[in-house]
Structure formats: C-alpha cells, structure tokens
Amino acid sequence: MPVTVVDHPLVRHKLGLLRENGISTKDFRELAGEVARLLTYEATKSLKTEKISINGWAGPLEVDRIAGKKITVVPILRAGLGMMDGVLDMIPGAKVSVVGMYRNEETLEPVRYYVKLAKKIHKRRAMILDPMLATGGTLIATINLLKEAGCRHIMGLFLVSAPEGLARLEREHPDVMVYTAAIDDHLNENGYIIPGLGDAGDKIFGTK
C-alpha cells in the first residue's frame, strides 16, 4: 500500500504546534487547515495535465490543465470537516461527499448514519479526509461504501496515523493511497493515538 509521510519542514513545524497541550480551538482549526493544504499539494502531485489552447495577453498559447478524473473530497464526520476547507482552498472545484458513521457499542462495528455522495462518484477520484487514522474501523467502512458506489481511485489524507490502522488498511484495502503528516507510536487502550493530538473532533469544534 503506498503510504507517503509528507516530511516537509512546514508540516513538521505545524504538527509540533498542533501537539501542544492546551492549544486553542482557533489555533488548532487554523493549523489543521494549513496542514491539510500541504497534504493536498503532495497528494495531487501525480495528477496528469493536458495542454489546452487559450488566448493569452500576448496572443494564443498552450497552457496546462488538470486532465482525467475529477476529485470528490470525502470528509468523515465530524472531525474530517476540520480538513475540508483547507483541501477546498487548493481544489475549489471538487465536489464534497459527506460520510457519517457511529460505532455500535455492542458489535463495535461502524454504522452509517449519514451518506451524501457526489453524483456519478464512480467517475471521480475520492479523497477521504480524517485528521486521525487510529484503528481504521471508520476508514475501512468508508472505503467499502465508496467501492460499493463504484469508486476505484481512493486516497486518504490524515494529520496523524497509527501503525495499527495502517496495518489494517494494508490488509483490507492495499490499493488505497495514504498521505499523512506523521506515523505515531501506538494506540492506547482507549483507541487514542500516542503521542497523537488528543481528540481532534473536540479540538476542532471546541467541544471540550
């Protein structure tokens, strides 16, 4: 499975700020958006371009345009919304497909409670957004859903990933491309990434 750790001084710097205990909601939100932009830059590096003819200020010329499949971003509720604006800053024309899952406390399996996908999603590249790739349960369920809808080109953007979640993704969906700012040490007994960021949803929405 292709995993890219976006190892850039700006990303490392901003991730370090995100890890500070007591970070304000405003700072967390802004930094999450900034890292999302940088991950998008890397994740779109392999998109193909084609030449088109335009009228430039000095006359006709050929310029590059992104070719091929268009993109849909897929924020996983709710924390994925914290990356969405940053990604859309870079890909303003992308359609948004929203996925909401909760965990059934008995089976521990993710259950879909809200799904609104872009039309003809099978013709698009899907870019899943979730700040934390922890156990991978919700992510796998989201990928299953996208594949059921016909998506064949799927990538995931994460601020921080856990080795356990990456290993599960590798077993279940080795074709999915991963872009992450860091791979941390491990998951604790409550499913939090260590050292991680804490509860990314609470930090983005200021609900703690």
User: Which one of 134, 155, 176, 182 is in contact with ligand URA (CB under 6 A)?
Assistant: 134
Residue 132 makes contact with ligand URA by CB under 6 A: yes
Q: Please, how many CA atoms are within 13 Å of residue 96, restricted to the half-sphere of its CB? A: 17
Cβ nearer to ligand URA, comparing 43 with 193: 193
Which residues are CB-contacts of 120 (< 8 A; sequence separation ≥ 6)? none
| Closest C-alpha among 99, 56, 65, 74 to residue 153 | 74
Binding residue per annotation — 59?
Answer: no
The interface with ligand URA within residues 54-83 (CB under 6 A) comprises: 79
Radius of gyration of the chain (CA): 18
Other Cβ atoms less than 10 A from the Cβ of 207: the count is 10
CA pair distance 98, 108, nearest whole angstrom: 22
Cβ nearer to ligand URA, comparing 121 with 183: 183
Residue 192 makes contact with ligand URA by CB under 6 A: yes
Q: Please give the annotated binding residues for 5-phospho-alpha-D-ribose 1-diphosphate, written as ranges.
A: 78, 103, 130-138, 199
Which residues bind to ligand URA, rule: CB under 6 A? Answer: 79, 132, 134, 191-193, 196, 199-201
